[in-house]
Chain A
């Protein structure tokens, strides 16, 4: 196990380094001069030279990369041209919206998917199962931003129960903030719930066919005990893994959903940064999200072994 973890850790570091190289190189192939992009075409040549020097653009590419990498290790993701603030602090402040949104969406996913998956598996090949499978197939096919628009239409424009967009901020009280996050979390969570429902159903169906479940039934245990105490616990191992792996899609999903609901999170920041040509912000956020996805995949991989002692690593 220890050797496996070390090997995976080595691969993780290598992958993160590769990601940093990809992001760095993509940002350096910009047609035109980044200093010119920041200052505009009318800029004074002297100031242009100063900005180039400040950004380190006059140095060799490898030196620029190593400097940038050194900065990453100390939490320095660069400086925003537009906000005149460190990118790391900008990301940290926007995480106060994106983090709770992703967590709430994950909660919505679990609340919808696990009961539906259990119901479908325990009512296999009956109308309830078919209905849930149709729901799941539709859920996988629905664009989350369209679902968000439909939720705004129903619950904000017509029923007026929720705000159509914007964020009241945590300082105004958690209830107001949660109210602004609920519809976007529903849109994000519903789509993922469709995937997890299928996963829970198929995983539980597989476990229900195992011999130890037959033994539990054979010794006269109540069906409820067989399902919840014996079968479900084992079937949830793979569901937890898939839930973890969904986090990548969830973070990518927040980018679009934050634009639908005008939430001042990380996703909206990166979209605004593109139109403002604020490249360090784009670079920092893309790197941050990609690193989180890789790290979560790594942790899920390890968690899988801890949750299921039958799994042996070579």
Chain B
């Protein structure tokens, strides 16, 4: 089976790609088109149910929910992308350093990672925002930091096993320096597993951002965010349930999409897991 046909045959990958693609498309389109201005209030049209004029209905200020869900996608994806970027760069750097130098540095860095791992993303965000104040940038940093230990452990583990492999030993034999072997030979070989982890973390970051925005610690008004939309909708639920339905569905579709994409990539790129599944 060629790699291309393996991608096509993986059902989780195909469904994940479609759902994730849908969210990406929605975010991309919202950059130059939304049915209405997402922040424009129209009080006479408040709390309307879905209809031809407003397919997802309107919120308590008469704002179009579809337009706000579309714009909210950008914030969620941006937080996911930057948080995973922070977690992955920091984690891989520390993991490779720990694996390469070993000894006390390895022990110290891994204990630090254990300590950070004790903080779930929400807890770390609470700590950071209580000091620096709420905001989307702080939630990106907090979520990213909380994922660093996952990448560090993965990078360190892979580094330790790969540095004994023939290609790494061959590079050493021709006189390459240790860091050059780590950067040029070992790191590219850990990419598949890091990409799988990044996809799963991306889904978790979207979920974490929504939770933080719900608590008022993430994206700040008037910027639309799925979590914050749910918080605002909760107060008017007995008048109209729709504002509390569509942002939640959007979060679920995005998280489901990227989770499945991660599962699919794991099936395709990691033959050991595939073997176990069979």
Chain A interface residues toward B at CB < 8 A:
11, 14-15, 18-19, 22-23, 26-27, 29-31, 137-138, 140-143, 145-146, 149-150, 152-153, 157, 248-249, 251-252, 255-256, 259-260, 270-271, 273-275, 277, 279, 282, 286, 289-291, 293-294, 297
Where chain B touches its partner, the secondary structure class is: helix
Q: How far is the CA of A19 from the CA of B115 in the complex (A)?
A: 5
A-B residue pairs in contact (CB < 8 Å), sample of 16:
A15-B115, A18-B115, A23-B127, A26-B131, A141-B252, A142-B248, A146-B230, A150-B248, A157-B238, A255-B123, A255-B126, A256-B215, A274-B217, A282-B127, A286-B126, A290-B123
Task: Tell me whether A274 and B126 are in contact in the complex, defined as CB-CB below 8 angstroms, given that A145-B230, A259-B215 are known contacts.
Answer: yes
- Picked from A141, A149, A248, A275, the residue with its CB within 8 Å of the CB of B255 is A141
Measured between beta carbons, the chain A residues less than 8 angstroms from B121 are 252
Measured between beta carbons, the chain B residues less than 8 angstroms from A27 are 131
Q: How far is the CA of A26 from the CA of B122 in the complex (A)?
A: 15
Q: Tell me how far the C-beta of B153 lies from the nearest C-beta in chain A, rounded to whole angstroms.
A: 14
CB-based contact A293/B260 at 8 Å? no
Chain B interface residues toward A at CB < 8 A:
111-112, 114-116, 118-123, 126-132, 134, 203, 207, 210-211, 214-217, 227, 230, 233-234, 237-238, 241, 244-245, 247-248, 251-252, 255-256, 259-260
Q: Tell me how far the C-beta of A209 lies from the nearest C-beta in chain B, rounded to whole angstroms.
A: 11
Task: Tell me whether A286 and B123 are in contact in the complex, defined as CB-CB below 8 angstroms, given that A256-B214, A260-B234, A274-B130 are known contacts.
Answer: yes
Q: How far is the CA of A149 from the CA of B227 in the complex (A)?
A: 12
Task: Tell me whether A138 and B252 are in contact in the complex, defined as CB-CB below 8 angstroms, given that A143-B210, A256-B214, A294-B118 are known contacts.
Answer: yes
CB-based contact B252/A143 at 8 Å? yes
CB-based contact A149/B123 at 8 Å? no
CB-based contact B111/A293 at 8 Å? no
Measured between beta carbons, the chain B residues less than 8 angstroms from A252 are 120-123
Measured between beta carbons, the chain A residues less than 8 angstroms from B116 are 22
Number of A-B contacts (CB under 8 A): 128
Measured between beta carbons, the chain A residues less than 8 angstroms from B245 are 150
CB-based contact B244/A142 at 8 Å? no
8 A-B pairs besides A153-B237, A274-B130 with CB distance below 8 A are: A146-B247, A150-B248, A157-B237, A252-B121, A277-B130, A286-B126, A294-B114, A297-B118
Where chain A touches its partner, the secondary structure class is: helix
Task: Tell me whether A141 and B241 are in contact in the complex, defined as CB-CB below 8 angstroms, given that A282-B126, A282-B127 are known contacts.
Answer: no
Q: Tell me how far the C-beta of B50 lies from the nearest C-beta in chain A, rounded to whole angstroms.
A: 16
Q: Which of A150, A251, A290 has the most CB of B within 10 A?
A: A290
Task: Tell me whether A146 and B248 are in contact in the complex, defined as CB-CB below 8 angstroms, given that A11-B111, A153-B241, A252-B122 are known contacts.
Answer: yes
- Picked from A11, A31, A274, A290, the residue with its CB within 8 Å of the CB of B129 is A274
Measured between beta carbons, the chain B residues less than 8 angstroms from A152 are 234, 237
